[in-house]
Chains A and B, each alone.
Chain A
Amino acid sequence: MAKTYDYLFKLLLIGDSGVGKTSILFRFSEDAFNISFISTIGIDFKIRTIDLDGKKVKLQIWDTAGQERFRTITTAYYRGSMGIMLVYDVTNEKSFENIKNWIRNIEENASADVEKMILGNKCDLDAKRQVSKERGEQLAVEYQIKFVETSAKDSLNVEYAFYTLARDIKAKMEKKQEASNPAGARSGTHQLRDERPKPTSWLARCSVL
């Protein structure tokens, strides 16, 4: 059977309730926005296949419910994620402060080498802004994570964010493949001992078809 994609990446959207995770996903998968979107209960995912440097990359993007107490259940779905979007709402200080908690949550529940990106959503609502772009950038530097402000409503930077995350995952993956490939070692590239995939890493599970 002809394969419909070259890579399958599992991505995850996390962040406080109401920051716009579902809206971002809806924008990316359906290219639409709905102001009165339904709140998420439990967990769901959407699929979109994108083209990256001539490779078909199927993105399976998981959307979770935000409230703290549901986390014991939703974290079960973190397993095997290769990339995580950490979303806050620029009009909500608290959601920004919570990004640190979410990062800790990832460290406990996702594989160590998962790719991350911070999104400051609702940047169209400048009048209500509580978190400046600079503070977002600063946080990203602190954690060495890429950052972008988005608007699901105005379709700003949403495509960019997913493409960037997917490209980083792909690059990391190909680098690791090369590192563990003896042909690469013979051709003189330096061997990165520390970068050999740990058995628990996402690389061990990711499907390269």
Chain B
Amino acid sequence: MSCSSVEDLPEQCKLTHKITHDLFTQDGVLLKASLGRPITDLNSIGMLCIVQNMDGSKCIEWRPNDLITIDSDTQDQEWAVVNTIGRRQRTLSGNMTSDYEAARARIIRIPLDELKSFKVSRNNQQMQFSTKQGVWQNTCYFQHGNAEIFLSYLKNHVKTAKTRHDRNTYVVVEPNVESQVLNKSFAELDIFTENTTDVVWNLVSNFKQRPYETTMEAFSKLTDIVYYGEGVNGKREMSDEVADLLTKSMSALEDTTSIARSEEYEVINVKPTLPPRPSIPRGTPLSTEKWDGLQDPEGRITEVEGVKQLIFRGGVAHSIRHSVWKYLLDYYPWKMTKAELKSLHKKKTEEYFSMKLQWRSMTEGQELRFSEYRDRKSLVEKDVNRTDRTHPFFAGDNNPNLVVLQDILMTYVMYNFDLGYVQGMSDILAPLLLLMGNEVDSFWCFVGFMEKISSNFDMDQAGMKQQLLNLQQLMAFITPDLAKHLASKDSGNMYFCFRWLLVWFKREFSHRDIMRLWEVLWTGLPCANFHLLICVAILDAEKDVLISKDYGFTEVLKHVNDLSMCLDVDIILSTAEGIYHQIVSSPHLSDQIRVILGLPLALKPDVPETEPTTFSNGNDIGETEEVTLEYNGHEISVVTKTVWALLA
């Protein structure tokens, strides 16, 4: 993907000698036309950014790529964790060269308060900007992806109206309207700060004096706390009153924008919404040729990250799955030579058979006096007889493959006696055995898979509960209306997704599709817990049915169970990836969501601040202090610094 917020691109953070700060960057943007520029400056690739200056003003900046590479060796670790919400400034570290100066001269800067209008065209791939009525001075072409995400960011920073006659042209609304909007919105808010226990609203009044658009962002943050953060735990719903008032104040904001409304314009709303969901096509499976080409002469796999990327995009061609899966499941180390693998294989084979011998040599008498062992054995037996029996590989009476299934699971009991056999494991193993066709390899692949999902089988089910909770939190962030519906139907605990999570969708897809889904998930890309986004993708597609039919507790469960074998794996993968991009480029992304997906946190409180804070707003709350706000009987713990990052 070409879109990214700054945390992905630390090397691009120190480009100007003025103290500035990138709010958003998008690479792969071609400068197609620019009024008054020499032709040699055109048709070069660069990065399109929204930048904040020292004085708080902002501009759109296009920088040529050669400028970026010049400065790429200055990495700023601290900066790497700062996201689009954390507003911090930075300075250039000073390794300036004359090349750099030349490149700098080619930067194009469009101050946002001069921006009059902009236009999106060519299938969302082209954007034009104008600071003067009737002239498009700059034209940019988005080579990777499209302009949608940039556009949604830009719209966070300028108030716009679409012209009626051309839906692709946006007119920037008079900036000085902002202060009036602010006053009106807080006048509105004051009506309900009467409820003094409501600390969140007290917090709101604290930054009343702040400039419009930052307040707006803080406000959207608050809306999160109220709309998405708290109500959906199944414990407490946001009171209707508050919801109503929030909506009112939101519409108050919208209404004031209509000061600029004329016959020609239509006001675009300013509600905190997720950026549009990009639709990302799936790729082709990793082919035999590519796989062979990725091995060095000794047989080591080079470019592991690249391989994983390819697999994430398109899966693995069936003919090489038996080989690739061993790496994905951490049975074969990527960096081993063919010779080393051969001796590893020998070692693992011996290890397997010695474990197998342990239970095989148990005498009948021993078994009789070892009830725990007996119970496990009979549990395995029962499940083996009920695993994928409709598949030809496991069908029929006295099928020898059932014996292998049983042997592997019993040996796993010896391998991991503390965990033992837990129902669901036979479902996990069956596709591995089916593909590998070999007892030893299937066992070690199974061990690798179990390593990834062992918390699913915790005695106290803590791992499952945690995932269900995380899923609920993701739902609240991405489809708050569905999350709200489920919570209102006693289904906020997401228990109806239990089967999906326990065996990683094994029961929901055909054998062919589950192989594809699993290999993609094993790459660990693009983030931690991507399988939860698979759940979100499936549920998001069912949202309309679940809500419009007002499905309750039992109907939700039934509907979800009945989705089995009716799901399209490619569509779901593509949707889940789109959701991932929506999340990472969302301006109101919370730390809670970051933690779930393993994304870098907004701020590290222990990193020393080297620069003075841009916004000195007279509010001196201790920087790393943790405060607990009480809101509707809920305790919300926040690190003040994070609060300021969110509110600044």
Say yes or no: A38 contacts B422, CB within 8 Å: no
Q: Contact flags (1/0) for B66-95 with A, using CB distance below 8 Å?
A: 000000000000000000000000000000
Answer whether residue A143 sits at the interface, using C-beta atoms and an 8 A cutoff.
Answer: no
B423 x A17 contact (CB < 8 A): yes
Identify the stretch in A64-72, A106-114, A167-175, A191-199 within 8 Å (CB) of chain B at 4 or more residues: A64-72
Distance of A18 from chain B, by nearest CB (Å):
4
Closest Cβ of chain A: how far from B377's Cβ, in Å?
Answer: 12
B460 touches A17 (CB 8 A): no
Cα of A199 to Cα of B423 in the assembled complex, Å: 37
* Interface 1/0 per residue, A60-91 and B, CB below 8 Å: 10000111011011001100000000000000
Chain B residues, CB < 8 A from A77: 495
Are the C-beta atoms of B507 and A41 separated by less than 8 Å?
Answer: yes
Q: B424's closest neighbor in chain A, by CB?
A: A41
* CB-based contact B386/A36 at 8 Å: yes
Interface residues of B in 443-477 (CB under 8 A from A): 457-461, 464-465
Chain A nearest Cβ from B273, distance in angstroms: 34
Interface residue? B554 (CB, 8 A): yes
Closest Cβ–Cβ distance, residue A69 to chain B (whole Å) = 5
Report A28-70 residues with CB < 8 Å from chain B CB. 36-39, 41-45, 60, 65-67, 69-70
Number of residues of chain B lying within 8 A (CB) of chain A: 34
- Contacts A36-B386, A76-B495; A41 near B502 (Cβ below 8 A): yes
**Residues of chain A lying within 8 A (CB to CB) of residue B460:** 69, 72
**B181 CB to nearest chain A CB (Å):** 47
- B358-409 contacts to A, CB under 8 A, are 375, 378-379, 382-383, 385-387, 389-390, 395
- Would A41 and B493 count as touching, CB distance under 8 A? no
Q: Which residues of the other chain, A, contact B459 by a CB distance below 8 angstroms?
A: 69
Indicate if B208 sits at the interface (CB-CB under 8 A).
no
Interface: A104 (CB within 8 A): no
Tell me if A39 and B387 are in contact (CB < 8 A): yes
Measured CA separation A73–B458 after assembly (Å): 13
- Structural contact, B502 and A42, CB atoms closer than 8 A: yes
Are A43 and B423 closer than 8 Å at their CB atoms? no
B558 touches A45 (CB 8 A): yes
Sorting the interface of chain A by its residue count into under 10, 10 to 19, 20 to 34 or 35 or more gives 20 to 34
- Distance in Å: Cβ of A1 to nearest Cβ of chain B: 15
A72-B389 contact given A41-B503, A43-B557, A45-B557, CB 8 Å threshold = no
Residues of A within 8 A of B160 (CB): none
User: Is B426 an interface residue, CB under 8 A from the partner?
Assistant: yes
Known: A60-B554, A94-B375. A69 touches B458 (CB 8 A): yes
Residues of A near B493 (CB, < 8 A) are: 76
Shortest CB-to-CB span from B38 to chain A, Å, is 67
Q: Does B561 contact A (CB under 8 A)?
A: yes
> Which residue of chain A has the shortest Cβ distance to B461 in the bound complex?
A72
Contacts of B644 in A (CB 8 A): none
- Cβ A39 vs Cβ B557 within 8 A: no
For the complex formed, measure the closest distance between the CB of B561 and the CB atoms of chain A, giving whole angstroms: 5
Known A39-B382, A67-B379, A76-B493: A45·B507 in contact at CB below 8 Å: no
Known contacts A69-B457, A70-B461, A73-B464: A41-B554 contact under CB 8 Å: no
Contact B557–A18 (Cβ < 8 Å): no
Instruction: Return the chain B residue nearest A80 by Cβ.
Output: B553
Residues of B within 8 A of A70 (CB): 423, 461
Interface centre among B395, B465, B499 (most CB of A within 10 A): B499
With A37-B386, A67-B379 known as contacts, the answer to whether A73 contacts B554 (CB < 8 A) is: no
Q: Residue B382 contacts which of A18, A41, A72 (CB distance < 8 angstroms)?
A: A18
Chain B nearest Cβ from A89, distance in angstroms: 10
B497 to A, closest residue via Cβ: A42
- Docked Cα-Cα span, A73 to B423, in Å, equals 14
Residues of B within 8 A of A65 (CB): 423
Given contacts A36-B385, A39-B387, A39-B426, contact A73 B498 (CB under 8 A): yes
| B481 part of interface (Cβ distance < 8 Å) | no
Q: Give the CA-CA distance A67 to B554 in the complex, in Å.
A: 22
CA of A76 to CA of B427, assembled, Å: 24
Q: Which residue of B lies closest to A10 (CB)?
A: B554
Contacts of B461 in A (CB 8 A): 69-70, 72-73
**Identity of the chain A residue whose Cβ is nearest the Cβ of B382 in the assembled complex:** A18
Asked if residues A42 and B498 are in contact (CB atoms below 8 Å), the reply is yes
Q: Which of B378, B422, B465 meets A67, CB within 8 Å?
A: B422
Which residues of B in the span 260-277 have a Cβ within 8 Å of any Cβ on A?
none
Between A36, A65, A92, the greatest number of chain B beta carbons within 10 A of the residue's beta carbon is seen for: A36
> Which residues from B are CB-within-8-Å of A69?
422, 457-461
| Complex interface: chain A residues within 8 A of B382 (CB) | 17-18, 39
8 Å CB contact of A44 from B386, B387, B424, B557: B557
Q: Mark A1-39, 1 if CB is under 8 A from B, else 0.
A: 000000000000000011000000000000000001111
Identify the closest chain B residue to A46 (Cβ): B558
Please report the C-alpha to C-alpha distance between residue A65 and residue B502 in the assembled complex, in whole angstroms: 12
In the complex, what residue of chain B is closest to A65 when comparing beta carbons?
A: B423
Q: How far is the CA of A73 from the CA of B464 in the complex (A)?
A: 9
Specify the chain A residue showing the minimal Cβ separation from B395. A36
Q: Which residues of B contact A37 (CB under 8 A)?
A: 386
Task: Give residues of chain B (412-439) contacting chain A, Cβ–Cβ below 8 Å.
Answer: 422-424, 426-427
* A60 nearest CB neighbor, chain B only: B554
B547-558 contact mask (Cβ, 8 Å, vs A): 1 or 0 = 000000010011
Q: How far is the CB of A82 from chain B (nearest CB, A)?
A: 14
Q: Chain A nearest CB: distance from B381 CB in Å?
A: 9
**A68: nearest residue on chain B (CB-CB)?**
B459
* Partner-B contacts on A (CB < 8 A): 17-18, 36-39, 41-45, 60, 65-67, 69-70, 72-73, 76-77, 92, 94
| Interchain residue pairs with CB less than 8 A apart (22) | A17-B383, A17-B423, A18-B382, A36-B385, A36-B390, A36-B395, A38-B387, A38-B389, A39-B382, A41-B424, A41-B427, A41-B498, A41-B499, A41-B507, A42-B495, A42-B502, A45-B554, A67-B423, A69-B460, A69-B461, A73-B464, A92-B378
List the 4 closest pairs (A to B, CB-CB), nearest first: A36-B389, A18-B382, A42-B499, A39-B386
User: Knowing that A17-B382, A17-B423, A73-B461 are A-B contacts, what are 14 other residue pairs whose CB atoms are under 8 Å apart, sorted by A's residue number?
Assistant: A39-B386, A41-B423, A41-B498, A41-B499, A41-B503, A41-B507, A42-B499, A42-B502, A45-B558, A60-B554, A66-B423, A69-B457, A73-B464, A94-B375
